[in-house]
Structure 1
Amino acid sequence: MLNKVILIGRLTRDPEPRYTTSGVAVTKFNMAVDRPFANKQGEREVDFIDIVTWQKLAEACANHLVKGQLVAVEGRMQIQSYEDKQGIKRKAVDVIAETVKFLSKPKNKDSADSYTGEINFSGDDSEVPF
């Protein structure tokens, strides 16, 4: 079986870093990704995709990514089922990133202190709580 996702898009907001109760870094951000075709009106539609990063990758994303920045993400899809406050069953779809490549420099930071490059998650995921 294979669960592999590769996306290129722009961040729709600044990343949201936090730490789990056991001290593991986790950062979430949302990407706008163009669909590869136009609709009937000739316009390209966009999908908004939630990305989750863990550990060192999470820290790097939190420290160096900003809204509007172009990134490439490679990872896997994760679907979680839950019930909302009204008791309605819902599903949440996230991409758990293993690699994030920064394809552009942030527009609102000095290029001298911004990171551009690729960061791979290659650590032990025994600490990742999922």
Structure 2
Amino acid sequence: MINEVVLVGRMVKDPELRYTGEGTPVATFRLAVNRNYKNQEGVIEADFVSCTAWRNLAKTTADYCRKGQLVGVTGRIQTRRFEAKDGTTVYVTDIVVDNVRFLEKKRDAKTNASASGKEVKAPSAENQEFPPPPQNPPQEQAEQPVEQVRTPEKVGM
């Protein structure tokens, strides 16, 4: 079976970097991804896709990505579930990121970041690609909780 996602979109806001109890970095962010068609009013709508990056990719994403920046993301869809305070089961689907690619020149990224009031420390190479995390990370690190949020569970087939 194939579970691979490729998205191109703009960062909705700066990534949020946190650490698990074991000290593993995890960054969460959302991408605004335009649909390929216009609605009845002639407007192109966007989907807002939640993404999660782990380890070194999490730190790199938090350091170099800013609100409004155009990025390409590859990864896989993962669904997790948890019990809400009212006892209902909540299912959440997001993208576990394997790779982030900058799709704007450094100058363009600075222009977009200035709107958010933050300086961009982008790498000097354009369209730099970062290596994905290990294919088979240790299970205890891949499934560590982040603060009070449970990490994604694998859904049985």
Task: Calculate the TM-score normalised by the size of structure 2.
Answer: 0.75
Structure 2 gap segments, 5+ residues each? 144-151, 153-157
Query: Which digits, 9 at most, give the CA deviation of each residue in 1:60-83, with x for residues without a partner?
Result: 001111111110000000111223
Say yes or no: does 1:87 pair with 2:87: yes
User: Residue 14 of structure 2 corresponds to which residue in structure 1?
Assistant: 14
Return the match for 1:125 from 132, 137, 143: 137
Deviations 1:55-108 (A, max 9, x none): 110010011111111100000001112232222332111100001001122432
Same amino acid, percent of matched pairs: 34
Cα displacement string for residues 89-130 of structure 1 (whole angstroms, at most 9, x for unaligned residues): 3211110000100112243235xx422511121325113225
Residue 149 of structure 2 is matched in structure 1 by none
Look up the match of 2:146.
none
Structure 2 residue aligned with 1:114: 122
Letter in 2 for 1:48: F
Question: Moved runs in structure 1, 4+ residues, more than 6 A?
Answer: none
Q: TM-score, normalised by structure 1?
A: 0.90
Count of residue pairs brought into register by the alignment: 128
Unpaired runs of at least 5, structure 1: none
Q: Quote the Cα distance in structure 2 between the aligned partners of 1:14 and 1:8.
A: 16
